[in-house]
Chain A
Amino acid sequence: MPRIYLFVLAFVSVISCGSLSFAADKIDYPAKIAAARAGIEELAVKVGNYPQALAEIEKARVSLKKAEQSYDKGRQWMGLGGLKPEAEQEIAHNLQMVDLALVLTGSRAAKGRNEEDAAAVDKQLTLVKDRVKLLEERKQSGDKLRQELQKCETSSKELTTLKADQTKLSAQLEQVTAEKKKLETQNAVLTDEKAALAAQIEALKKAASAPAAAVQTPTPPAAK
Chain B
Amino acid sequence: MKRLMAGVCCLLVFAAGSACADELKDASDRLQPLTERITKIGAGKSADYLKSQLAAAQETLGAVKAAIAAKNGPVALQKTELVDLQLTIAEAKAAEMEADEQLVLRRAELKKFEAQFDQLLQTGGK
Contact = CB atoms under 8 A, between A and B. Distances in A.
Contacts of B116: 132
Given A111-B99, A118-B103, A100 B92 contact: no
B23 to A, nearest CB: 13
Interface residues of A, number: 31
Interface residues of B, number: 30
Contacts of B117: 128, 131-132, 135
Contact of B106 (A97, A108, A125): A125
Nearest to B99: A114
B75 A118 contact: no
A118 B109 contact: no
Given A97-B82, A107-B92, A135-B125, 14 more contacts: A89-B74, A89-B78, A103-B89, A104-B89, A107-B96, A118-B99, A118-B102, A121-B107, A124-B110, A129-B113, A132-B116, A132-B117, A139-B120, A142-B126
B92 to A, nearest CB: 4
6 contacts: A86-B74, A89-B78, A125-B109, A125-B113, A132-B113, A136-B120
Dominant secondary structure at the A interface: helix
B78 A93 contact: yes
B113 A121 contact: no
Interface of B: 74-75, 78, 81-82, 85-86, 88-89, 92-93, 95-96, 99-100, 102-103, 106-107, 109-110, 113-114, 116-117, 120-121, 123, 125-126
A75 to B, nearest CB: 19
A142 B82 contact: no
A80 interface: no
A104 B88 contact: yes
A26 interface: no
A128 B92 contact: no
B121 A121 contact: no
A107 B96 CA distance: 7
Contacts of A142: 125-126
Contacts of B109: 125
Interface in A52-106: 86, 89-90, 93, 96-97, 100-101, 103-104
Contacts of B93: 107
Contacts of B125: 135, 138-139, 142
Nearest to B101: A114
A126 to B, nearest CB: 10
Contacts of B103: 114, 117-118, 121
